[in-house]
């Protein structure tokens, strides 16, 4: 199996990566071919990534990549802006968004998630949108109670921040 993935930014070609997967070999692997950098300093990279497979309970096979740096099984490999090769999240020490949220921002994040789930505008005191068609009244009532509790927590956080600024 082989191919090329291409992407664009603002309608302009931004990059591409070629891949070749050899799944029949005794040592299955994936070869990624891409260009890193631009101009005279551009580097042509060919990275070989080992593959392994497991058998899920529901049957068939599940393919995994082996991180070239940590040697751990990974479903995804990452190439962050400062990186030079694809590697696992742990190899690059990449955190999840939820790990970077400050404690005082957590009620706002939960409030915005609730508003987004209901398809309404996001923002503190933007309100909870009307009950979507097909949603049970009791489900909407539960979400409304959750919204009011989160809105109250956000008000407490904002009051604390404003009092520190004024203080």
Say whether pLDDT at 30 is over 90: yes
Q: pLDDT of 111-160, one tens digit each?
A: 999 998 888 888 888 877 888 889 999 999 999 999 999 999 999 999 99
Say whether pLDDT at 25 is over 80: no
Average pLDDT for the chain? 91
Say whether pLDDT at 162 is over 80: yes
Query: Looking at the whole model, is its pTM more than 0.75?
Result: no
CA distances from 35 to 4, 42, 55, 69, 78 (A): 13, 7, 35, 20, 15
* Cα 6-8-13 angle, rounded to 5 deg: 80
Q: Among residues of the chain, what percentage have pLDDT more than 70?
A: 99
The conformational region for residue 62 under phi > 0 = left, psi -120 to 50 = alpha, else beta, is beta
Mean pLDDT of 60-88: 94
How many whole angstroms separate alpha carbon 39 and alpha carbon 23? 35
pLDDT at residue 100 in the model:
86
How many whole angstroms separate alpha carbon 73 and alpha carbon 53? 10
Count CB neighbours of 24 within 10 A.
6
């Amino acid at each position: 199996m082989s191919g090329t993935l291409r992407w664009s930014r603002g309608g302009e070609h931004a990059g591409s990566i070629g891949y070749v997967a050899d799944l029949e070999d005794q040592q299955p692997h994936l070869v990624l071919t891409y260009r890193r950098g631009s101009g005279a300093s551009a580097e042509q990279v060919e990275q070989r990534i080992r593959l392994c497979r497991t058998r899920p309970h529901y049957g068939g096979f599940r393919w995994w990549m082996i991180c070239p740096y940590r040697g751990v099984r990974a479903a995804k490999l990452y190439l962050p802006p400062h990186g030079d090769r694809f590697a696992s999240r742990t190899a690059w020490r990449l955190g999840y968004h939820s790990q970077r949220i400050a404690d005082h921002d957590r009620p706002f994040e939960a409030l915005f998630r609730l508003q987004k789930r209901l398809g309404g505008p996001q923002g503190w005191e933007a309100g909870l949108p009307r009950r979507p068609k097909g949603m049970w009244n009791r489900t909407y009532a539960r979400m409304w109670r959750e919204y009011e509790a989160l809105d109250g927590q956000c008000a407490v956080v904002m009051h604390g921040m404003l009092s520190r600024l004024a203080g």
